[in-house]
Amino acid sequence: MFHKKQALPFFLGMIFCFSTLQISAQSDYSNYSKLTQKIKNLQRTNSSSSKLEELTTTVGGHKIWALTLSKGDAKNKPAIAIVSGVDGSHILGPEMAVNIAENILKNHADVLEKTTFYIFPNMSPNATENYFSKLKHYQNGNAKKTDDDRDGETNEDPFEDLNNDGLITMMRVEDVTGDYIKLKEDNRILVKADKNKGQTGKYKIFSEGKDNDKDGKFNEDGKGGIQFNKNFSYAYNYFKPGVGEHPVSEKENRDLLSFLYEQWNIFAIITLGPENNLSSPLKYNASGARKRVVTSVLKQDAALNKFLSGKYNKITGTKDAPVSKGKGGDFFQWSYFHFGKLALSTPGWWVPKVKDSAKKSAKNKFVNYLNWAKKENISNAFVDWKQVSHPDFPGQKVEIGGIAPYKMINPPFKMVTDISKKHTDFILELAKMQPNITLQNLSTESVGNGLTRISVDVHNSGILPTHTQMGSRSRWLRKIKVELKLNKNQQIISGQEITLVNNIDGDSSQKFSWLIKGKGNVQLEAGTSHTGSDSATIKLK
């Protein structure tokens, strides 16, 4: 007999099983609502070691989430910030961010005793939703209306799906005044004609659509919005499409920075986005480093970047990474040049190089992708060229086709779990190396006349330095504070009551000594929020 008392647990169990089956059966990336539900479920089932906050709500009505992972006092231990969804075309990032959070909470919760994680799964929810729309195309901005071509009208020249396939690809027009030719290696791909080789152009190429405002450009003022990854202050590209009216003009950008500036314990920021200094470390440039507005990673930071890159490549097994340093206004470069933090960025995945029977890989990245897609049995990687009638090109042959949007930037969903696990392993390794201030070799010695000499090594037991070289030059980052606290009738004869230290390298120390007059105990404290602190009570002799 099935009793009423059994009904509620039974149906709750059924709902749980159904939800679990839905998650396990997932075959494609998560849209905004599904990703939000994942985040909420994850926090709910790990409420003692996680906190979920609404950072802000975008113009398009999407909530930006901030997920904090920690055990105990989150703000008083070194922290790593993970920021994803910086670019709307990079839909892998948000999925990775949630998977990494889940991996840490379920399998590596012990790391939360000593390290806090601030995770921002998707900073561009309006843009990433375009992947799930009926018409897929790269729309990387928020929902704000913009006048990208500065003609006094907003959103008047959008994309049009001329071949009715639900994708916006490319449009090639046969024209003797064009600059492009078919690539011999794969005639589906167009490349610029090389005049030095006697080549003459036969095609013009445009994005798929119509010239609605008759200015000779196609789709240049659609629903573009302001792009999160173009709206930061470092190398800001004024008056370019998608950058905004001024740096940090958008509420999602402002509210993220407000959050980060208040978390003094962050020692590293990991960006999951198009920029990449993990598999391909940045290189030091002396002239760029000497400029008033610095344009090169500093020398010591370049060496640190190279060291961490080696760790990353070994743990994740990645190679042949494309070089991507940031195009200006991006979050990754801001987090280093303007915030002074240990800044690391990776797209997480890129198209592997495919070798032919002669063990050679294609030089053209598009051909290499198509070879890889064929090898992986990806049938919808390329839209075959199809002739259409086009009102802007009467009497000319116009064809629509090209590589499908999102395909070259994001891997098939079945790869995401493994990619996320490898990146979780790297992040855990980074946490093991975090700066950690301790007091070592503490000694006291009576030197007569009521005087006591105190000596100590303030030691950074972590492998990473307490501050990047850029951070040491910053007036914002908190320095290491070494403080000797006295009671009444005690006096410092030599040494400083408070000393601020710019940086202590990994596995390095700085020696301190004081000469104290008096009796009783004194308190010694050393550290800062992003390095951890240590203290000792010292009895004067």
Yes or no: say if 410 and 395 are a contact pair by the CB < 8 Å rule.
Answer: no
pTM, to two decimals:
0.92
Cross-strand bridge partners of residue 81: 118, 269
Answer left, alpha or beta for residue 346, where phi above 0 means left and psi between -120 and 50 means alpha: beta
Please report the pLDDT score of residue 19 as a whole number: 47
- State pLDDT tens for residues 203-253: 999 999 888 777 667 666 556 799 999 999 999 999 998 999 999 999 999
Q: Which of 483, 424, 429 is nearest to 456 (CA)?
A: 483
Task: Give, to the nearest 10 degrees, the angle between helix 92-107 and helix 32-45.
Answer: 10
Could you state, in chain order, the average pLDDT of each consecutive group of 10 residues for the chain (541 residues)? 50 48 71 97 97 96 97 95 97 98 98 98 96 88 76 65 93 96 96 95 93 70 82 95 94 98 97 96 95 95 97 94 87 97 97 84 93 93 96 94 96 97 98 98 95 98 97 91 95 96 97 96 97 96 91
How many angstroms separate the most distant Cα atoms in the chain? 105
CA–CA distance, 496 with 493 (Å, rounded to integer): 9
Long-range contacts of 46-55 (CB under 8 A, 24+ apart): 46/105, 46/106, 49/105, 49/109, 49/112, 50/101, 50/105, 55/120, 55/252, 55/255, 55/256, 55/259
> How many other C-beta atoms lie within 10 A of the C-beta of residue 247?
19
The CB-based long-range contact list for 93-96 (8 Å cut-off, 24+ gap) reads 93/122, 93/272, 93/273, 93/347, 93/348, 94/30, 94/35, 94/121, 94/122, 94/128, 95/29, 95/30, 95/35, 95/413, 95/416, 95/420, 96/272, 96/348, 96/416, 96/419, 96/420, 96/423
Alpha-carbon distance of 396 to 67, in angstroms, equals 54
Q: What is the pLDDT of residues 330-352, one digit of tens each?
A: 999 999 999 999 999 999 999 99
H or E segment to which residue 203 belongs: strand 203-207
What the block records as the tokens of 319 is: 């190679």
Q: Scanning the structure block, which residue is given the tokens 């998977």? A: 99
Tokens of 225: 């919005």
How far is residue 31's CA from residue 390's CA, in Å, rounded to a whole number? 34
**Rounded CA gap, 485 and 498, in Å?**
9
266, β-bridge pairs:
79
Q: How far apart are CA 356 and CA 348, in angstroms?
A: 25
**pLDDT score recorded for residue 222:** 57
- Considering the domain delimited by 4-131+225-351+411-432, tell me its CATH architecture: 3-Layer(aba) Sandwich (3.40)
Helix axes 416-432, 92-107, angle to 10 degrees: 60
Question: Cα–Cα distances in Å, from 237 out to 68, 159, 165, 224, 244?
Answer: 32, 24, 34, 16, 9
Q: What token pair was written down for 415?
A: 């790869």
How far is it, in rounded angstroms, from Cα 168 to Cα 139?
A: 11
CATH entry 2.60.40.10 includes domain 437-539: yes
- What CA–CA distance (Å, rounded) separates 101 from 69? 8
Q: 201 phi and psi, to 5 degrees?
A: -70, 150
- List of residues 6+ apart from 327 with CB closer than 8 A: 230, 237
The tokens describing 490, both together, are 């005690």
Place of tokens 């030095």: 196
Write down the domain spans for the chain.
4-131+225-351+411-432, 147-221+353-407, 437-539
